[in-house]
A and B are shown apart, each in its own frame.
Chain A
Amino acid sequence: MSIGHQPVTASTEQEAPRVIRAPAVALRGVSKAFGYAGDRVWALDEISLEVGKGEFVCLVGASGCGKSTLLNLIAGLEKATAGTVERPGGDAALMFQDAALFPWLTVSRNVDLALRLRKVPKPQRAARVAELLELVHLEDFANRRPHELSGGMRSRVALARALAQERNVLLMDEPFGALDAITRDLLHDELERVWREANLAVVFVTHNVREAVRLGDRVILLSSRPGRVAEEFLINLPRPREANAPELANYATVITNRLREEVRRHGSDAGE
């Protein structure tokens, strides 16, 4: 597993030139409508984007930008009304807004279920579960049930479970939205580390611009109603990143301003 990142030096302005990677996910002209003929609402309009293998892409947008719909399309849970969704990287794992753990199973059984449903033979499963729980630092909580854990711990179990699916693509739908700021900061560090080790392509949906800039190689800003790609930002910051770095704040300011512009557009629409 190669990490391929420069060592951190305080003054680095840019990383090594961005490698053009083979795509793990490719969307071409994807549109999605809900409702019946005559009364259709377009959630997504002509979205085209690629996520390279091992790339971390964040999608940000205000309410109604179809972020979750987009993830469902990539995951194959919904079908596009028009356009094509390709997954050269294979099927995707998905982490939900809420950890969505099975409350009747212990932590280790939750992770184990992902392996079991992939028909991994039993002797290998126990070792893999232990490995994954260690990866998210939850080995001491293997026999607890989800309701006995904090929100942050549940998110980490969900992450371990998603990793147990052994996919090359991980989709994350505002996975840390409900967590307190301290826990979220730590989970960002944790996720960055796991992502680097597992060499995953990640599509991370959030409405938090700071979070997007903290994590993403690229941040894609979506406009709302219908969702379109408004602008794309390359986040040229070395990793591991520091949540409070001023460069990070600069990026966040630029993107937030652009996001506000989008939101204002809707305000003037309403006045007509």
Chain B
Amino acid sequence: MFVLEIKDLTYTYGGGTPFEKTAVDHVNVGVEKGEFLGIIGHTGSGKSTLIQTLNGLLRPTSGTVLLNGKDIWAEPKKIRAVRFQVGMVFQYPEHQLFEETVLKDICFGPSNMGLDQKQCEERARRAAEFVGLPDELLGKSPFELSGGQKRRAAIAGVIAMEPEVLILDEPTAGLDPQGRDMLLSQISDYRTKKGNTVLLVSHSMEDIARCADRVLVMNEGKAVMLDTAGEVFARGRELERMGLRVPQITGIMLDLMEKGYPVHPVLTVDRAVGELLPLLRKGGDRP
């Protein structure tokens, strides 16, 4: 069964005014339990609007969002409970840190859920471990942390609510390659260990290619592709026309394919080496 199901969802900003704009246009997507779904699309494609409907921050103009088969807006007064089940990490979440200590900040979410202090702290420590924040930092002020550490602390604050579905909007923006790799592998580990569903919105095809089981491509408010990462990136030329770009290595392999070589649009340098070595060995034997 789908943990999240988006059915014929449309969202229109400024309905009935001259500025009316349909940001999400009749989108249908089912997200499997435990799945890692990547979402890509250029600025203005509707991806941010879409994810905000998933935990009830925006109410769809039409269509429904089902969480475990139940319409999240069935009882509008209980929408708050949905936000504990579908956790959202916004862009630059470190701007939202505010407590005296890192530990207190991470506890903020669970304490809003009505858990007692002991439970909150247990969860906070577990969450901090998931994102690789060492214990000795938990007593510090969030403002003493480095940029990367702040980002982790903010993500831990959402993970501490132990949401069934975790949504991250551009979690690696502004991090250096090392920080980006570390954070992505921690998110992947979290998914593997907890078996929870993760939705990752990113501009970076490399990030998506590394982690996602399936990829949803948004363009002009519509869901235009939903398939495995390999299948989606194989349609690299179409993505380029939408203002997106495939990883450089995938582009190289696509180029070779178009020139008639029997290779696949793989997503990593390792795989490309694996495909090219046997071909090159053959080529070397040429008389």
Do A and B associate with each other? no
